[in-house]
Chains A and B, each alone.
Chain A
Amino acid sequence: MNVGLEHFLAVSFILFSLGLLGVILRRNLLVIYLSLELMLNAANLALVSFSRFNNKLDGQVMVFFIITVAAAEVAVGLALIVALYRRRQSAHVEDLNSMKL
């Protein structure tokens, strides 16, 4: 079987949709955060595969940057979640409704 661009994109789409479902449906903040990372990497996968099949390096370079930035972002995001947990003694989104009128 010849693996083409469409297969890579299909995997990328499935990963992105799984991540999106996770963000919308799961209740635990940490899991939502993991799902977000999943969506990010689905996008990375799409970029890399386009780069590969178009014989250009732009996408790959971009993914390097994204991974680097994502590492920093994870550090900040986790720190925020920890700080929030310390304050509220909970990491469930149902408890985070202080914006409700």
Chain B
Amino acid sequence: MKSEALPWIILFLPLLAATLIALFTLRCRTLSALISIGAIVTGFGLTAVFIAANGFHPAVTETTKEWLKINDGAHVLLSADFGLKLDTLSLMMMLIVTGVGGLIHIYSFGYMHEDRSMPRFFAFLSLFTFSMLGIVLANNFLMMFIFWELVGVSSYLLIGFWFEKPSAGDAAKKAFITNRLGDFGFLLGILMVWGLLGTLNLTQLHDLAQANPALLGAGATTAGLLIFCGAVGKSAQFPLHVWLADAMEGPTPVSALIHAATMVAAGVYMLCRTLPLFNAEALHVIAYIGGFTALLAALIAVQQNDIKRILAYSTLSQLGYMVMAVGLSGPTPAMFHLTTHAFFKALLFLGAGSVIHALHEEQDIWKMGSLKAKMPITFWTFLFGTLALCGVPPFSGFYSKDSILGQALEQKNYPLFALGVFVAGLTTFYMFRLFFVAFVGKPRTEKAKHAHESPAVMSMPLLILAVFAIIGGFIGIAVNYGSQFKPDGESLTLVQQLLEPLHAPAGLIAGLGAVVVGLFAAFSLYKNAETDPLPKLLGPLSTAMKNRFYFDEIYEATFIRAHDALAAVAGAIDRWLLEWFFIGSLRGGTDIAGRGLRLLQTGNLQTYALLFVLGVAALLYFVLGK
């Protein structure tokens, strides 16, 4: 294989950057930013070089260093390499992580310019990039799990970046702990797969499971669902979806990079990577959890007023789509949507960041308005991102969403198809509600009147992402993924890709119909609206949506309360049984024994001599006397 060292360099460059910043340049703001940006942009360049040299299907798909091996005689009990897996899936993800991530790094340089601890921010970002690349490149479950946790840590650090705000600290803790719940299941699943199949190497697992799907036996459904737990946590699916909206406490570029484009997609990526391990029942559950999350999040997003929260719930909803696609045995549509979503959701978040920046940290959409003339670049790119997210042809989201709906039809799963269409309509509705309220109409506050366009370092990434949000649907992304999952599929020309959705007109018509209905509803309700008319129309349902269907409150009242009770019992056992009784009696016993033994120490020389003689006599008796 050509240029074998390149993937290793790409992986470790961000770690090097993070280390350099943390150790040496914490006081140099610009230098730190340049190191971090340089690392990821170089990574993107090297990825492109590697793909140019080897194509998307390298001859050698793994490059490994032996790392951990446990032998039982000649029999190998556990063997885990530190290895990189190089195929279309990982190479495409590397392009997304370094490409979209690189643009967000550059944008952050403008966005965080005023912040005192910008070097720390860039060190965290680089650490995150390293961890994310590790997940993408991992060739075995163990290594993937390690980087999975590292991603969790960097996400924790970045959500809590403004740790002086209590809400940011709480959100960081919530994200980390919720993720840990999912990861616990993930770890159990990994152990179960290892126990049943005896290997952790993803290629071997893939081949084993494909050669003999019954290999996992009766535990197949359990193992599949346990592994899915990891994705539920990381990709914020119901019932662990509660952390993602709170994670918006982090700086906006973080929301764009981690909580929209890359990290939350890791769950979907992992599912696609290990797809043969899931049997039909597990996939069924996965599909319905994904569909339910998509619907739930879309409903919540309809009544949110914080621009970042709307986008967060929209991310949840789109992740639900992707998971649903995986559950419908459609890894190609899932990865396709993941990629286009990375483009347009990063664009939307960065656009939102640009607005927030211009309006001096104002996030309430009802305090914005009429931004077209003052922020033209942000306005137009945000519009394109919105159109792509809603699935308006020929924007990228249209193609990927259509392929998911097509997958549902192909599997004859009509409930999920109907749900997908309904959520598509809701998506259009809440996104255009956001757009009409925040960007058009009259300026509602003084701040909105004095908005100004962001500097070039922030608007350039917006423009580049907007280009990809527009053309991402027909530049061969789906074909590339297809070549991974269905090796015998044919390659399509540009025009064929443009017209691909016409093959399944039912999905196309339903999807477009939903978009038109959603757009019309949003237009009639929110064009020039001064306040939100929806609460009057929907009554208590609107209140429930606004309060996120009370999930946080329910969890607070049940799980957290139960956990507190359990902690109180454990605390009492520790304090009274262990500390007071056991340790207390041990200490008291030692004390009393010490006081008794102390009497023997008379200090009289001759007593010692007598005892010594008696001892020698006893010894002699035992040695010689018998």
Contacts and interface: CB of A to CB of B under 8 A. Distances in A.
A97 B607 CA distance: 11
Interface string B252-286: 00000000000000000000000000000000000
Nearest to A96: B605
Contact of B609 (A23, A97, A98, A99): A23
B613 A24 contact: yes
A91 interface: no
B533 to A, nearest CB: 89
B157 to A, nearest CB: 57
Contacts of A24: 606, 609-610, 613
B587 interface: no
Contact of B603 (A23, A25, A97): A97
B524 interface: no
Interface string A43-71: 00000000000000000000000000000
B598 interface: yes
A72 interface: no
A24 B601 CA distance: 17
Contacts of B605: 93, 96
A20 B606 CA distance: 11
A20 B603 contact: no
B558 interface: no
Contacts of B602: 97, 100
B564 to A, nearest CB: 51
A23 B606 contact: yes
A75 interface: no
Given A23-B606, A93-B606, A96-B605, A101 B598 contact: yes
Given A20-B613, A24-B613, A98 B603 contact: yes
B531 interface: no
B242 to A, nearest CB: 64
A25 B598 CA distance: 24
Interface residues of A, number: 12
B212 interface: no
Nearest to B601: A101
Nearest to A20: B613
B604 interface: yes
Nearest to B610: A24
Contacts of B606: 23-25, 93
Contacts, number: 26
A97 B604 contact: yes
Contacts of A93: 604-606
A100 B613 contact: no
Contacts of B609: 23-24
A98 B603 CA distance: 7
Interface in B588-621: 598, 601-606, 609-610, 613
A96 B605 CA distance: 8
A1 B605 CA distance: 44
A93 B607 CA distance: 11
A101 B597 CA distance: 12
Contacts of B604: 93-94, 97, 100
A24 B614 CA distance: 11
A100 B598 CA distance: 10
B59 to A, nearest CB: 82
Interface in A2-23: 20, 23
Contacts of B601: 99-101
A57 to B, nearest CB: 26
A101 B596 CA distance: 13
Nearest to A29: B605
A23 B613 CA distance: 10
A22 B598 CA distance: 27
B596 to A, nearest CB: 13
A83 to B, nearest CB: 16
Nearest to A97: B603
B606 to A, nearest CB: 6
Interface string A69-101: 000000000000000000000000110111111
A23 B606 CA distance: 7
A75 B259 CA distance: 88
Contacts of B598: 101
Contacts of A100: 601-604
A99 B603 contact: yes
Nearest to A94: B604
A96 B613 CA distance: 20
A18 B316 CA distance: 98
B389 to A, nearest CB: 83
Given A96-B605, A100-B604, 5 more contacts: A24-B613, A97-B602, A99-B603, A100-B603, A101-B598
24 contacts: A20-B613, A23-B606, A23-B609, A24-B606, A24-B609, A24-B613, A25-B606, A93-B604, A93-B606, A94-B604, A96-B605, A97-B602, A97-B603, A97-B604, A98-B603, A99-B601, A99-B603, A100-B601, A100-B602, A100-B603, A100-B604, A101-B598, A101-B601, A101-B603
A-B pairs, top 3 by smallest CB distance, nearest first, are A100-B603, A97-B603, A99-B603
